[in-house]
Homo-oligomer: A and B are copies of this chain.
């Protein structure tokens, strides 16, 4: 087979080629069952085994402790922006740290359900650095503190989780880790709830992963839909409503692929390698043509936004990239420019090809 293009989409995003081959091969008949995965009752033995394996593999990969439940839900991060406060706020205080578009949306949506307050922000200067936890105006009465640990659009990432206990807070830490889940370990001693839309670093859109400490279950507001009450979802092993079965299957194949590669530690090693290669070029040799203004200590390993210094060349840049098999590099409309998302499924060779093109374009006569 000839080389596939490299796909830098921010999400839905590239999947490991092995996973796609396996999914295609099993499309009409999963393991001799006579059924494709999409055709299976979610209550049947076959799909139950798929869902259980996906959960167990994710638990192993992220070393999720036994007192956390793993839920497979629907609606993505934007739905969780409502579902989290409906389940955790009890209508009381919830604190928000603003680090970019996603955390802004979370804080705004939570106002429907609770006393949501922004207690720190990196908005001044344009979301280029991360607010230091030592300066967060944590409220003693807050039920939880929400942070987006990797901002897909703005390209900033927490390199360590805040330790709320050490900061004197009893609030649960809620992390939206949609766009870097499985690219680094998670210190669960600091976390109450983690959620992630699967369509970025796992693959299929339409699956939302929620990992929640058991003591946070059972406090949903009366207006919380049954299908989005974490306790109901947990009590029914994510099968209260019909789950997005095929997406869970694909996520499970991705989890197995990550395990075969060496797990999250190996994903992190590769993420560092890929990010250093790309940022290194942009900051060094490519600095005359390209710019990334984000504080180097806060840069995302997954989502690398950058601008051409001469933005009139944007269309030419994208056309040349596409001609060389480098796809979906256009930046988010809210920030413009370019963005290379280099998730787990992006091989080092893809980033090498991108850097080669960046160099070629920078050196081309105008």
Which residue numbers of A lie inside 8 Å of B, CB to CB? Answer: 4-5, 7, 9-15, 17, 20-21, 23-25, 27-29, 34-36, 38-42, 44, 47, 74-79, 81-83, 86, 109, 112-113, 197, 199, 203-207, 222-223, 225-228, 240-247, 250, 325, 327-328
In the complex, what residue of chain B is closest to A24 when comparing beta carbons? B27
List the B side residues contacting A250 at CB < 8 Å: 38, 246
A17 CB contact (under 8 Å) in B4, B28, B74, B222: B28
Asked whether A39 lies within 8 Å of B12 as measured between CB atoms, the reply is yes
List the B side residues contacting A241 at CB < 8 Å: 75-79
CA distance A205 to B242 in the complex (A): 7
- A27-B27, A227-B79, A244-B244 given; A204·B38 CB < 8 A: yes
The list of the 10 closest CB pairs from A to B, nearest first, reads A206-B244, A82-B225, A5-B34, A78-B241, A24-B27, A74-B74, A79-B227, A206-B206, A24-B24, A76-B241
Decide if the interface of chain A is mainly helix, strand, loop or mixed.
loop
A11 CB contact (under 8 Å) in B13, B203, B242: B242
List the B side residues contacting A41 at CB < 8 Å: 9-12, 328
List the B side residues contacting A81 at CB < 8 Å: 225-227
CA distance A82 to B233 in the complex (A): 15
Asked whether A34 lies within 8 Å of B244 as measured between CB atoms, the reply is no
A83 CB contact (under 8 Å) in B27, B225, B240: B225
List the B side residues contacting A15 at CB < 8 Å: 36, 38-39
Asked whether A242 lies within 8 Å of B79 as measured between CB atoms, the reply is no
List the B side residues contacting A242 at CB < 8 Å: 11-12, 76, 78, 197, 199, 205-206
Besides the known contacts A38-B205, A78-B226, A199-B242, 20 further A-B residue pairs in the complex with CB atoms under 8 A apart: A4-B34, A9-B39, A9-B40, A10-B41, A11-B41, A12-B40, A12-B245, A20-B36, A24-B25, A74-B75, A76-B227, A76-B241, A77-B241, A79-B228, A79-B241, A81-B226, A82-B226, A199-B245, A206-B242, A206-B243
List the B side residues contacting A109 at CB < 8 Å: 225-226
List the B side residues contacting A325 at CB < 8 Å: 34
Asked whether A222 lies within 8 Å of B112 as measured between CB atoms, the reply is yes
CA distance A83 to B112 in the complex (A): 16
Asked whether A223 lies within 8 Å of B113 as measured between CB atoms, the reply is yes
A203 CB contact (under 8 Å) in B34, B38, B204: B38
Asked whether A78 lies within 8 Å of B240 as measured between CB atoms, the reply is yes
Query: Among the interface residues A13, A86, A250, which one has the most CB atoms of the partner chain B within 10 A?
Result: A13
Asked whether A38 lies within 8 Å of B17 as measured between CB atoms, the reply is no
In the complex, what residue of chain B is closest to A1 when comparing beta carbons? B28
CA distance A313 to B225 in the complex (A): 40
A35 CB contact (under 8 Å) in B7, B11, B199, B227: B7
Asked whether B197 lies within 8 Å of A35 as measured between CB atoms, the reply is no
In the complex, what residue of chain B is closest to A241 when comparing beta carbons? B78
List the B side residues contacting A9 at CB < 8 Å: 35, 39-41, 44
CA distance A93 to B151 in the complex (A): 42
Q: How distant is A96 from chain B, measured CB to nearest CB, in Å?
A: 16
- A28-B20, A228-B79 given; A206·B247 CB < 8 A: yes
In the complex, what residue of chain B is closest to A17 when comparing beta carbons? B28
CA distance A83 to B228 in the complex (A): 11
List the B side residues contacting A17 at CB < 8 Å: 28
CA distance A78 to B242 in the complex (A): 8
CA distance A187 to B17 in the complex (A): 46
6 A-B pairs with C-beta separation under 8 A: A5-B35, A12-B38, A20-B27, A20-B28, A24-B28, A246-B250
